[in-house]
């Protein structure tokens, strides 16, 4: 006989567990302590089993009957409803463990190791600010492209078009890692490449006319500044490393006798060691500076404390004092000068120039092991470049295409 709601309300616990049967394997179990549990009794593969259907009265009689009928339908299809329930719970727990933020942390720890800390911080801060508040707790395999696009639109709304593209790239890397780890089936961030507002990059200002470069070099030689700042400004055009790499130079990285500066991978944008051959002119400048700063860590220590290098604005401030506005020339512009004039000389292979510029390597493993690539040519090129800059300073008409055979 089927149960009624009145029977359920009037039933009282006894000294032993009490079972009130509704039919079709459904019954209400009342414990001596007064708890009331719905159970479904069934047989599968010759074994008697029980399936928990919830607690009364949160699960009503009507709801319990519906759950029983759904379980019986599975049995009719030769499916064990208890095993199905356990798999559903497993998937829920798995999804909770594989949230986008958790997967991103795993990806970041394994894939971003070796990149410079500044680059690491920039990527992680963007994810924490622009993605995690909305998608961080979501299972990585449940996130769809429109949801990511909504986050990226918020970034675009504040005018950070380039940042939106970089955050999309980071999200794509997380999804690819999830796919490789069996936690997701597709990369919804990949399809958003064409959906973002196109960012128009503004190139760094630069002076590439040889005569104007010569005038700039003469101005730097006449710079009224401390020896530390003056040496940094004189080395910037010769070595054309990134401003951050120059100001963070350490004496321990520099071999003056071997004429070489090895920048550790953690300081480089690519995460790989970078070799900078030091032409004799650069060695002379460093030897002039070493008696002053050589006892400390940094080649170019700050004025207030030797525990920190000169500030990131030091070279730019020096250029401003020389009359070069930020729209005309910056510390980063020395790289553009070198790239342009070295390529125009037709004396050096493009690969050697790009390697010396330490432009980003798409293959992280290749970048790690090829830091010495084209090194003999790069040594000759850096010697020629320093000599070429010296000739520009003399205000002599220089043919940059002259043979490099004289450079040993």
Catalytic residues: 242, 269, 332, 335, 359, 369
Q: Dig out the tokens for 316 from the structure.
A: 């730019």
State CA 381 to chain mean position distance. 33
How crowded is residue 322: how many other Cβ atoms within 10 Å of its Cβ?
17
Query: Terminus-to-terminus CA distance in the chain, angstroms?
Result: 104
Cα 183 from Cα 140, distance rounded (Å): 7
Check whether the bond before 57 is cis (ω within 30° of 0): yes
Q: Radius of gyration of the chain from Cα atoms?
A: 34
Q: CA-CA distances (angstroms) from residue 317 to 57, 129, 156?
A: 75, 32, 31
Q: Is residue 149 within 8 Å of 109, Cβ to Cβ?
A: no
Question: Residue with structure tokens 């010495």?
Answer: 372
Cα 238 from Cα 228, distance rounded (Å): 16
Residues 374-380: contacts with CB within 8 Å, 24+ apart?
374/349, 375/275, 375/277, 377/348, 377/349, 377/352, 378/275, 378/277, 378/352, 379/259, 379/277, 380/404, 380/407, 380/408
- Largest interatomic CA distance in the chain: 111
How crowded is residue 235: how many other Cβ atoms within 10 Å of its Cβ?
24
């Amino acid at each position: 006989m089927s149960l009624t709601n009145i029977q359920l309300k009037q039933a009282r616990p006894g000294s032993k567990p009490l079972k009130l049967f509704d039919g079709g394997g459904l019954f209400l179990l009342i414990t001596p302590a007064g708890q009331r549990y719905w159970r479904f009794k069934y047989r599968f593969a010759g074994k008697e089993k029980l399936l928990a259907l919830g607690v009364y009265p949160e699960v009503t009689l009507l709801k319990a009957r519906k759950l029983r009928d759904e379980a019986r339908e599975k049995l009719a299809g030769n499916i064990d409803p208890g095993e199905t329930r356990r798999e559903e719970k497993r998937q829920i727990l798995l999804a909770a463990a594989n949230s986008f933020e958790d997967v991103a942390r795993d990806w970041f720890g394994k894939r971003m190791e070796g990149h410079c800390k500044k680059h690491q911080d920039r990527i992680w801060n963007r994810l924490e600010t622009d993605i995690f508040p909305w998608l961080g707790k979501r299972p990585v395999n449940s996130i769809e492209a429109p949801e990511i696009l909504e986050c990226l639109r918020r970034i675009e709304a504040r005018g950070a078009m380039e940042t939106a593209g970089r955050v999309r790239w980071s999200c794509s890397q997380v999804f690819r890692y999830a796919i490789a780890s069996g936690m997701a089936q597709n990369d919804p961030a990949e399809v958003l490449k064409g959906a973002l507002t196109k960012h128009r990059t503004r190139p760094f200002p630069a002076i590439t006319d040889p005569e104007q470069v010569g005038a700039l070099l003469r101005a730097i030689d006449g710079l009224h500044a401390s020896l530390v700042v003056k040496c940094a400004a004189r080395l910037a055009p010769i070595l054309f490393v990134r401003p951050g790499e120059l100001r963070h130079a350490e004496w321990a990285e520099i071999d003056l006798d071997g004429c070489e500066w090895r920048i550790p991978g953690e300081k480089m944008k690519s995460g790989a060691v970078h070799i900078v051959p030091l032409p004799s002119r650069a060695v002379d400048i460093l030897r002039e500076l070493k008696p002053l700063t050589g006892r400390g860590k940094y080649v170019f220590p700050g004025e207030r404390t030797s525990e920190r290098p000169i500030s990131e604005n030091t070279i730019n401030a020096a250029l401003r004092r020389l009359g070069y506005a930020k729209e005309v020339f910056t510390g980063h512009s020395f790289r553009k000068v070198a790239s342009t004039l070295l390529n125009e000389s037709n004396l050096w292979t493009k690969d050697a120039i790009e390697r010396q510029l330490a432009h980003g390597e798409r293959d992280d493993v290749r970048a790690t092991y090829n830091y010495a690539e084209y090194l003999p040519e790069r040594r000759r090129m850096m010697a020629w470049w320093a000599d070429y800059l010296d000739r520009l300073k003399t205000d002599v008409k220089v043919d940059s295409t002259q043979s490099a055979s004289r450079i040993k």
